[in-house]
């Protein structure tokens, strides 16, 4: 089969890999319809995180081709969304809806566990716990793109908002204007935030942030952003902060603009971040978050997509196919694209 293959930093090519087969009887084989490139895939592309030569990608939707004999709820022909982590759905962490900590689980396309999803086919371990069947058929391209976001980016933005405890009427700040940050804006809106302050300096991202529900867009960063947000909130700070970057500067901004008692919902993977243990303490500022249990959020967000309440697929502004996978990465790496969609197959 045709698949994206990570060769080395800066080089991801299309190539041939053996078709995946059922290894465990709880597996399913999925024929990929749409895949996409994640901001975290760029770490490998940029050589920041190591990745072995081989398949890559962890966001995909597709059609079930085959299932192991122990698979009970998923069947051949089902149109499914795969979250970026596979999970058994039955362990204590899955039952608590933290499937990214599943005691038998793992991650797609990270090079050491599950296969990659930027491929014509992929093996899905623990199919019953992992996959969510999408009801219906004949979806528009727009709906398909939105369904694809539930595998990671929209679930991750939503996790930031849920972790930060966003509730009706809140004033929320979103740090980061990547596809996750934009999804976090949309999630804050979905959870009833009244005022959403997005930090963004790119015109096209600012526009999408406003479309997703941002009421204020700030181009400033660091201390300037902190000062502006404190002024906007009469010196009190915001009710919830969604941290969608992961750098130390973004985290310091996030902690500084949180009002007393607020929570910073972190989904940006921390790189050299120092959490101010005392500064947060005296102001009762909390933090939550981590790798999003996307699996937990798919059922509800699926309804939101199918019933037209949200259109998170708007984050895709570059579309290509597997043959041009390197361009999908390059466009994001060079910030020409917010997020790249990859058309792999048909339904």
Beta strands in 105-256 (DSSP E): 106-107, 121-124, 132-133, 171-175, 195-199, 216-218, 238-243
Site for a second copy in 64-123 (CB under 8 A): 92-93, 96-98, 100-101, 103
Q: Closest separation between CB of residue 193 and a second copy, Å?
A: 16
285 touches a second copy (CB under 8 A) = yes
- 3: closest CA among 109, 104, 98, 142? 109
For the beta carbon of residue 316, count every other beta carbon within 10 angstroms: 24
Which of 157, 213, 291, 313 binds a second copy (CB under 8 A)? It is 291
Which of 234, 307, 334, 346 binds a second copy (CB under 8 A)? It is 234
Q: Closest separation between CB of residue 182 and a second copy, Å?
A: 21
Site for a second copy in 137-176 (CB under 8 A): 163
200 touches a second copy (CB under 8 A) = no
230 touches a second copy (CB under 8 A) = no
251 touches a second copy (CB under 8 A) = yes
- Provide CB contacts within 8 A for 222, sequence distance 6+: 249, 252, 253
Q: Closest separation between CB of residue 157 and a second copy, Å?
A: 16
Sign (positive/negative) of CA torsion 273, 249, 335, 36?
Answer: positive
- 176: closest CA among 187, 185, 186? 185
Q: Closest separation between CB of residue 43 and a second copy, Å?
A: 14
Measured distance CA(61)–CA(18) in Å, rounded: 20
Which of 288, 326, 327, 333 binds a second copy (CB under 8 A)? It is 288
**202 or 283, CB closer to a second copy?**
283
Q: What DSSP state is assigned to residue 272?
A: S
Q: Cβ distance 99 to 140 under 8 Å?
A: no
Which of 135, 137, 277, 308 binds a second copy (CB under 8 A)? It is 277
- Provide CB contacts within 8 A for 153, sequence distance 6+: 36, 38, 59, 179, 180, 183, 312, 315, 339
Residues in binding contact with a second copy, number by CB under 8 A: 38
- 312: closest CA among 135, 188, 187? 187
Site for a second copy in 253-272 (CB under 8 A): 259-261, 263, 266, 269-270
Pick the stretch among 67-75, 128-136, 282-290, 338-346 that binds a second copy (CB under 8 A).
282-290
Which of 15, 54, 286, 345 binds a second copy (CB under 8 A)? It is 286
Give the footprint of a second copy on this chain (CB under 8 A). 92-93, 96-98, 100-101, 103, 163, 234-236, 251, 259-261, 263, 266, 269-270, 273-275, 277-278, 280-291, 293
């Amino acid at each position: 089969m045709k698949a994206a293959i990570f060769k080395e930093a800066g080089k991801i090519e299309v190539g041939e890999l053996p078709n995946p087969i059922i290894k465990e009887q709880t597996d399913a084989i999925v024929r990929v319809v749409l895949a996409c490139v994640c901001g975290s895939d760029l770490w490998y592309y940029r050589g920041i995180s190591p990745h072995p030569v081989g398949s890559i990608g962890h966001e995909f939707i597709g059609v079930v081709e085959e299932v192991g004999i122990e698979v009970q709820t998923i069947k051949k022909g089902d149109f499914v969304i795969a979250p970026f982590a596979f999970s058994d759905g039955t362990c204590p962490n899955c039952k608590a809806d933290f499937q990214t900590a599943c005691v038998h689980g793992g991650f797609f396309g990270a090079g050491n566990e599950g296969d990659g999803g930027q491929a014509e086919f992929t093996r899905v371990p623990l199919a019953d716990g992992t996959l969510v069947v999408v009801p219906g058929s004949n979806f528009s391209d727009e709906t398909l793109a939105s369904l694809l976001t539930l595998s990671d980016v929209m679930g991750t933005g939503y996790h930031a908002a849920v972790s930060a405890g966003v509730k009706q009427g809140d004033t929320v700040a979103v740090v980061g204007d990547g596809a996750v940050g934009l999804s976090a804006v949309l999630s804050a809106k979905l959870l009833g935030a009244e005022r959403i302050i997005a930090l963004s300096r790119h015109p096209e991202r600012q526009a999408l942030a406003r479309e997703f529900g941002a009421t204020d867009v700030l181009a400033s960063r660091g201390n300037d952003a902190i000062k502006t947000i404190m002024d906007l909130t009469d010196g009190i700070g915001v009710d919830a902060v969604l941290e969608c970057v992961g750098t130390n500067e973004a985290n310091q901004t996030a902690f500084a603009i949180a009002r007393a008692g607020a929570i910073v919902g972190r989904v940006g993977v921390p790189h050299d971040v120092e959490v101010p243990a005392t500064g947060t303490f005296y102001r009762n500022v909390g933090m939550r978050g981590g790798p999003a249990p996307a699996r937990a959020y798919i059922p509800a967000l699926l309804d939101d997509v199918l019933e037209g309440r949200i259109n998170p697929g708007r984050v895709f502004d570059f579309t290509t196919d597997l043959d041009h996978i390197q361009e999908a990465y390059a466009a994001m790496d060079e910030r020409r694209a917010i997020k790249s969609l990859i058309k792999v197959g048909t339904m």
